[in-house]
Amino acid sequence: MTDLKDTLKKLISLPGLSGYEAPAREVIAAAWQPLVDEISVSPMGSLHGFRRGTGPEPRPSILLAAHMDAIGLMITGFQDGLLRFTEIGGVDPRILPGLRVTVHGRRNLPAVVVQPPDYLLDPTQRGKSVAMEHLFIDTGLEEDEVNQLVSIGDLASFAQEPLELSGRTIVGHSLDNRISVAAITYCLQELQHMLHAWDVWAVATVQEEETMGGGFTSPFKIDPTVAVAIDVTFAKGPGANDWRTVGLCKGPTLAWGPNAHPYIHKKFLDVADQLEIPYQKEFAPRHTGTDAYAMQVTASGYPTMVIGIPLRYMHTPVEMIAMKDMERAGRLLAETIVRLEVDFMEKITWDEVKDEE
Amino acid sequence: MKNEEILSQIPEIGEGQIKLLETLSNAVSVSGDEGEVRAIVMEALKELADDVRVDALGNVLVTKKAKVENPIRVMIAAHMDEVGFMLVDDEGEGLFKFEIVGGIDNRQLVGKPVLVGKDKLPGVIGAKPIHLTTADERKNPIPLENLRIDVGPGNSKKCKVGDRATFATRFETWGPSLVGKALDDRLGVATLIELLKHTPGNIELLAAFTVQEENGLRGARVAAYSMHPDVAFVLDSTPANDLPVWDEEENARYNVRLNHGPAIYRLDAATLSDPRLINLLTDTGDELGIPYQYRQPGKGGTDAGAIHKQRGGIPSVSISVPGRYAHTAVLIARREDWKNTLALVYATLCKISKDLFLADR
């Protein structure tokens, strides 16, 4: 599946910040086009790919949602040829000094986030992690040119190029959550040579990092039987080793908690066990911080589930994932979908569900 | 030589020079491991100099004879090394603890891609996800002991403890700017190579491409001893610190300013420059209309700190290309400042002679 790796690398070389997802959406639409029967764009900008099932009408349907938006920065002001900025999505200011970005002005400008020397900073910032409002973006251009090319509200995206590290790991920005878009694509490729009774909606949602606007709206039109969010989860790594973290390259995660319908959870678990697809449990005692949180309460509510892909260094420009985890997630989705019988939902009774382990 | 003649002979900064600077900037030469830059320098020096040798520490020492009898012997030094890292502990699964070589603010490390070892294996310095941090935690820098270089699981055999690493920044030009890592002091190295290609005939040029500057000016110290020059010029890059001040008052405490020409040192933490050399530089700049600026007296230092106290004392001065954000992943300098640095040093060399010593310091 080298073409999928290429698509992924293309996806994580694009901006597509929350609210401005078009560059990512175009690449995803091109990748999904041959794998779905219909493709459309929602009023919010989410991409909806529809793949018809083989069951009798009215067919149940499963919605697979992965958000395609990325975190980044937005320009707020000018000072002596340098730019002030704020964040789109959650950005730890400690990743910012020295960060390579692209400022999307009248043309794309390469630039870097810079930290003034301590003695020029507010005394409260000296020797500390410098708050975002005290940092600048430097384009290397002279003041008059900067003022001409850049406006307040222009976006700045992370410019880190994709890297292939060993262990078939990929490093780059916005792997949260474009690796999950890749997992859905992998699933669609698998389904090409499988029979599935249910309809499948592949959805690349918008604005997850800011408002969950895509997650709240896409299920309304689609009205699926089951909605599954595929999103990244915390891989163990430097500074991250507690119960909230899972192993990198140890398989996708199955979420357990209020955003996961216990019966849907069990279905994925059973399929993974049956096919010996490695997986990990993710315990999410409150909300999952994924589109499932939104989709669950759209309209009159939907049964939801969250499949996680372990990712190290989340919300940094050097997010790291293992391709193996993405492939396993894609395969688990496909194998579960083909095992959804037409009357699957009728068999769900809350009493039957047993807590595992 | 007449001023008009000097002006007509000043070497240019063209695409070839930018290309060489790019090659030098992208090379990895952390203090104590300067081999890659040394090889680039040696290649560039082929057929340029009368005598090229590599000393016990790895300095490249070049002698270029004068075209006159009994010339003044001028040492010009530029350091080949850069700040970086050494892997010091293998924790398995591609994760390495590392130490900093030279001065790098911890706050500049997080989220950076790096190159590790001779094979330039890609790696990254990541950070704990923001979601798992507290607001208080985010106010404090991540201490070095909590950071790791990560080359990916299963890659441990391709790099090992003891390997050097540095920022993976690739050189670029952005409008009027030169942008890259280690331009402190690859700008100096590239300038010195140009001076070897275009050496005024009135001097014996003793060019020292030094090692371990960032580790305590150690290469320059021994280079100055063995070269035994009459005077020394040191070419470096100094942090501009010309950004706005937090309270929006005028920044009167900049170190130097971009676009204001080469920075001449009077006083830094290690050296009081020889006023005869300072005056020669500024008189030359004034006469020929080459812009220059004084670096504000203060902290920091260059190879001059080691050179001027060598043997019985060597009159020395430093000239820097101003650069923003030295010792981070990205340094930004202006091409125009580099051009004027080369011009000022070249013109000054045309004018220097032993008459300099007619006056006592």
Provide Rg for chain B, Cα atoms: 21
What is the reported pLDDT for A355?
Answer: 54
Q: Tell me if A230 sits within 8 A of A201, measured CB to CB.
A: no
Query: Can you state the angle between helices A175-191 and A22-32, rounded to 10 degrees?
Result: 20
Q: Tell me if A252 sits within 8 A of A328, measured CB to CB.
A: yes
pLDDT > 70? residue A58: yes
Q: Tell me if B303 sits within 8 A of B192, measured CB to CB.
A: no
Say which residues have a Cβ less than 8 Å from residue A112's Cβ, sequence separation at least 6.
A98, A99, A100, A101, A137, A138, B179, B325, B329, B330, B332
Using the Cβ of A112 and the Cβ atoms of chain B, whether some distance falls under 8 Å is answered with: yes
Residue A272 DSSP SS3:
helix
Using the Cβ of B245 and the Cβ atoms of chain A, whether some distance falls under 8 Å is answered with: yes
Candidates B108, B111, B152; nearest CB to A169: B152
CB contact under 8 A, A237 and B251: no
Round to whole Å and give the CA distance between B60 and A334.
Answer: 62
What is the reported pLDDT for B129?
Answer: 94
Peptide bond into B247 cis (omega under 30): no
What is the reported pLDDT for A353?
Answer: 59
Residue stretches of chain B with pLDDT short of 70: 155-156
**Chain B residues near residue A249 by CB distance under 8 angstroms:** 153
What DSSP element (H or E) covers B84? strand B84-90
Residue A163's closest chain B neighbor by CA?
B122
Closest CA to B293 of B262, B338, B247: B262
Confidence of residue A318 (pLDDT cuts 50, 70, 90): very high
CA B318 to chain centre: 11
What is the reported pLDDT for B222?
Answer: 98
Using the Cβ of B67 and the Cβ atoms of chain A, whether some distance falls under 8 Å is answered with: no
What is the reported pLDDT for B248?
Answer: 81
What is the reported pLDDT for B156?
Answer: 62
Using the Cβ of B129 and the Cβ atoms of chain A, whether some distance falls under 8 Å is answered with: yes
Residue B112 DSSP SS3:
strand
Q: Tell me if B77 sits within 8 A of B210, measured CB to CB.
A: yes
CA B302 to chain centre: 9
A190, A208, A209, A319: which one is catalytic? A208
CB contact under 8 A, A240 and B142: no
CA B329 to chain centre: 14
What is the reported pLDDT for A354?
Answer: 60
**Chain B residues near residue A92 by CB distance under 8 angstroms:** 127, 130, 133, 138
Closest CA to B159 of B100, B102, B90, B101: B90
Give the other-Cβ count within 10 Å of B208's Cβ.
Answer: 29
Using the Cβ of B346 and the Cβ atoms of chain A, whether some distance falls under 8 Å is answered with: no
Q: Which of residues 288-347 of A touch B (CB under 8 A)?
A: 289, 312-318, 320, 322
Using the Cβ of A236 and the Cβ atoms of chain B, whether some distance falls under 8 Å is answered with: no
Using the Cβ of B111 and the Cβ atoms of chain A, whether some distance falls under 8 Å is answered with: yes
What is the reported pLDDT for A350?
Answer: 67
Torsion of CA A297, A62, A221, A255, to 10 degrees: 30
Pair of tokens at residue B298: 């203060």
CB contact under 8 A, B111 and A313: yes
Q: Which of B142, B242, B246, B254 to mutate to test the interface with A (most CBs of A within 10 A)?
A: B246
CB contact under 8 A, B132 and A114: no
What is the reported pLDDT for A352?
Answer: 58
Mean pLDDT lowest among A13-22, A65-74, A219-228, B240-249: B240-249
Pair of tokens at residue A259: 């955003």
What is the reported pLDDT for A3?
Answer: 81
Q: Which of A87, A163, A316 to mutate to test the interface with B (most CBs of B within 10 A)?
A: A316
CB contact under 8 A, A314 and B133: no
Residue A236's closest chain B neighbor by CA?
B128
Backbone angles phi, psi at B74, to 5 degrees: -110, 120
pLDDT > 50? residue A302: yes
Cα–Cα distances (Å) from A320 to A131, A314, A316, B111, B122, in that order, read 25, 8, 9, 11, 12
A208 is annotated as an active-site residue? yes
**Predicted confidence (pLDDT) per residue in A44-55, tens digit:** 999 999 999 999
**ipTM for this model:** 0.93
Using the Cβ of B125 and the Cβ atoms of chain A, whether some distance falls under 8 Å is answered with: yes
Closest CA to B12 of B343, B350, B351: B343
What is the reported pLDDT for A357?
Answer: 43
**Chain A residues near residue B259 by CB distance under 8 angstroms:** 142
Average pLDDT over residues A18-39: 97
**Chain A residues near residue B167 by CB distance under 8 angstroms:** 98
CB contact under 8 A, A315 and B131: yes
Query: What 8-state DSSP symbol labels residue A97?
Result: T
Say which residues have a Cβ less than 8 Å from residue B301's Cβ, sequence separation at least 6.
B217, B268, B269, B270, B271
CB contact under 8 A, A114 and B243: yes
**Predicted confidence (pLDDT) per residue in A223-256, tens digit:** 999 999 999 999 999 999 999 999 999 999 999 9
Q: Bigger pLDDT: B155 or A344?
A: A344
CB contact under 8 A, B328 and A98: yes
Using the Cβ of A86 and the Cβ atoms of chain B, whether some distance falls under 8 Å is answered with: no
Confidence of residue A1 (pLDDT cuts 50, 70, 90): very low
Using the Cβ of A67 and the Cβ atoms of chain B, whether some distance falls under 8 Å is answered with: no
Q: How far is A205 from chain B (nearest CA, A)?
A: 21
Pairing state between β A72-79 and A253-256: unpaired
**Predicted confidence (pLDDT) per residue in A171-190, tens digit:** 999 999 999 999 999 999 99
Candidates B130, B148, B330; nearest CB to A315: B130
Confidence of residue A349 (pLDDT cuts 50, 70, 90): confident
Pairing state between β A155-158 and A72-79: antiparallel
Round to whole Å and give the CA distance between A183 and B221.
Answer: 58
Pairs of CB atoms within 8 A across A/B: 202
